[in-house]
Structure 1
Amino acid sequence: MILVAILFIVLGVLVKNGKAYNLIAGYNTLSPEEKAKVDIKGISVVFRNAMFGMAVIIAAGSLLSYWLGDPAIEWYGLIIAVVIGVPYLLVKANSDKYKKEEIE
């Protein structure tokens, strides 16, 4: 499960620092006009923070599982990370905060 946490960290770094915006669902299907209306740098920060947060929860679950000797805790950590992280990511990234205002 630690590999999943590492994968989430790598994805967060790729999107934010590597500018791999095509990993963000739906962004690569937008037209150039629609892409210009989106603050992709702001969304990439949200994506990175969500991936890092989920990685921390998964890693904590893995370490707690190892420490207590109960393998089920590892899966609880993964489930908690996904149940909290995915809705946070969807709600935050789709908020009006990351839509650029049009200047007329």
Structure 2
Amino acid sequence: MNYSMLFIGLFLVALGFLVRRYPILISGYNTMSAKEKENVDIKGLSAFMCRCLVVMGVALSGSYYFCVWMQWWTIVAYVPVFVPLIFVVYALVKAQKYDHNRKNNNQKQRGT
């Protein structure tokens, strides 16, 4: 039996708990200056990212094996692509509420 989706799901769950314990693992937060980090609700952000990663890992493994069990072979091929894509877009949009740094339209974005 193919255990790769189970392994990836468990990896995402473990990564979620690591992000909760070590928030410096959050991409974007670790590149901020000390002044910008002061304006981020890191406890809320790390808890949110933990929940997102845990739910994504469970949903990825669960939906994959559910589709295999139901013998929906055409859907099985799309589960590893669309489940993480949906969760990543959701996390990117919702995680912005924890960043309280002022954004100016004339200010250049970081990294550009």
TM-score exceeds 0.5: yes
- Does 1:92 pair with 2:94? yes
Bigger Rg, structure 1 or 2: 2
Q: Which runs of 5+ in 2 are unaligned?
A: 103-112
Counterpart CA distance in 2 for 1:89 and 1:23 is 15
| Root-mean-square deviation over aligned CA pairs | 2.1
**When the two structures are superposed, what TM-score results if normalisation uses the length of structure 2?**
0.74
Name which of 13, 23, 32 aligns with 1:9.
Answer: 13
Counterpart CA distance in 1 for 2:32 and 2:11 is 26
Counterpart CA distance in 1 for 2:73 and 2:53 is 23
Q: Which runs of 5+ in 1 are unaligned?
A: none
Aligned length: 98
Amino acid at match of 2:12: F
Amino acid at match of 2:7: L
Counterpart CA distance in 2 for 1:59 and 1:92 is 23
Amino acid at match of 2:36: E
1:11-67 superposed Cα distances (whole Å, 9 cap, x missing partner): 110111x2x222211111111111111111111111111111211221112321441
**When the two structures are superposed, what TM-score results if normalisation uses the length of structure 1?**
0.79
Q: Which is richer in helix?
A: 1
Residue 106 of structure 2: aligned partner:
none
**Cα distance, 1:5–1:60 mapped onto 2, change above 3 Å:** same
Counterpart CA distance in 2 for 1:66 and 1:56 is 15
